[in-house]
Amino acid sequence: MGVKAVLGLIFRILSRLALFAFAITLPITIFPIIFGIGGAVNFHFWNHGEVQKHTNSFTFEVERREGLNYWNVPGALTIHEFFDQKGPFHIPTLNTFDWAEKLDLILPNEHQFDQATGIDKIGSLNGLVRSTGLNLPSRYWVYVTSLPEWSADPWDDAFSSLLQHLYVKPLPLDTDIFYLDCSNAGFLCGVWGVKYPSLVYFEVEDKSLADLKSSTNHDVADDDWLTDMLTPEHTYIYPEDALRPVTARIIELPLDGDEASKLLPRSTFPSPTLQLRTLILDLVPDDIHAMWEEYSPTQQMMRRFQDHFNALTERRGTWWYYLDEADSWYTDYILEPIFGKTFTTGDGGAMVKAQTAVFWITTLIAELVRIPFRVGWSIYSWYFGLGWDGLPLGTHTLPDEWLDDGNGAGGTNMWDDMMAEFWESVARNVSAQENDKAGRAAVTGNADA
């Protein structure tokens, strides 16, 4: 028997064994497999839809910013500065274009506006640093909301109440507070993967970036943010010994489960006001570090997809709803009594691990399958001069002065129009007066003659 025949025999035996093992375990793994495959397909299309939505948000915010520049008047507050501390909170609000500047943070060189990189990097929370030697707050709280014009949210009311309390008893000098309105900064909320209501906590490290890199006692493998810092693509405009890393943590509200039980008294109803005051006024950095992990874009993305997927399974009358009901019944009355709860739930459960493995394998296959379609669309759109959304390429060109506040050289504003109209009216009046004067002179001359 030749080598090829032996290898073929071994492959057939292993294939049959794998198929036999799969058939035996199918009564246990059937629902994880279905949810893993179906969830991965949903995730693929959801994720690409989110990318398109974020791109649309960015384009809209750029156009709106340029449109508002029209109302700027030289020597006065710009329209953006005017709206910066508008009601209902009257504290600085962050937006896509100035959030890092307001927090006194420095983005990596590769994440600046003028670099040819993905626009999501403009709002990235990875690789943030702060200059050393600055007498600025080292802790920042950012309240995330979406302010509707037609109703009041209890969390917004609670935050407003907290701000009124801070007028009487201000925050420590090392702490400052801002807010982020997702209805006006949807791009930033989308890139951060944050929903409202939430709190984003920024903290500036005590040591410089160079000290942390050279420290032999620091376990780099335990800190994803520092691992990202050490990658070659992160460079900065200042030397590393003049920079301090900045970490971010996202606290999603309302608190529930272990988070609520550890922070809030059991005898007290955890109202929005109590939760915000406990988090912002009472917690020290060590408490925050112990309860919330540092920001991970992948983790936040999966949280938002889980919200989307939960909405699918909770929609009565759909295929996903009945499948989820069947899975819950099968798990509660068959699998758990036989194998135990640790087998079916928790991060270490075999069922959860199997579903996760199927999910990521299917996701990878979906991305590979999509590659030919992407290439085909690229060729088609290039040939017909179309952009990613099928619109002509010229409609996607952003103005060079999109960061101008209207007081500089770029852009047209209300003041420019007013002055142009003024000088036009002056010219018309002067011309009319000259014509009238010339007419009078002609009449007088004829009379003398």
What CATH number does residue 173 fall under?
Answer: 3.40.30.10
Q: pLDDT band at 433, cuts 50/70/90? A: low
Is residue 185 a part of any domain in this protein? Answer: yes
Is residue 231 a part of any domain in this protein? Answer: yes
Q: Using CA atoms, how far apart are residues 99 and 367, in angstroms rounded to an integer?
A: 33
Is residue 180 a part of any domain in this protein? Answer: yes
Q: Is the pLDDT of residue 269 over 70?
A: no
Is residue 422 a part of any domain in this protein? Answer: no
What is the structure's pLDDT at 399? 43
Count of Cβ atoms closer than 10 Å to residue 152 Cβ? 11
Closest CA to 308 of 48, 100, 65, 94: 48
What is the structure's pLDDT at 256? 77
Which residue in this structure is represented by tokens 């071994």?
10
The arrangement of strands across the sheet holding 139-145 comes to 93-94, 175-181, 139-145, 198-204, 243-252, 129-131
Q: Is the pLDDT of residue 427 over 90?
A: no
Q: pLDDT band at 398, cuts 50/70/90? A: very low
Q: pLDDT band at 389, cuts 50/70/90? A: low
- Average pLDDT of the chain? 77
What is the structure's pLDDT at 204? 92
- List the beta bridge partners of residue 94: 180
More confident residue, 325 or 348: 325
Q: Is the pLDDT of residue 407 over 50?
A: no
Is residue 373 a part of any domain in this protein? Answer: no
Question: Using an 8 Å Cβ cutoff, are 250 and 198 in contact?
Answer: yes
Is residue 203 a part of any domain in this protein? Answer: yes
Mean pLDDT calculated for residue range 344-368? 80
Q: Is the pLDDT of residue 165 over 60?
A: yes
Identify the domain containing residue 203 by its residue range.
Answer: 86-300
What is the structure's pLDDT at 426? 53
Which residue in this structure is represented by tokens 């000098």?
173
Is residue 449 a part of any domain in this protein? Answer: no
Highest mean pLDDT among 208-222, 229-243, 370-384: 370-384
Mean pLDDT calculated for residue range 162-175? 90
Is residue 209 a part of any domain in this protein? Answer: yes
Q: Is the pLDDT of residue 209 over 50?
A: yes
| Tokens at 153, concatenated | 């949210």
Whole-prediction pTM: 0.75
Q: pLDDT tens across 73-121, in order?
A: 777 667 777 777 676 788 888 988 889 889 999 888 777 665 556 677 8
How many domains is the chain built from?
Answer: 1
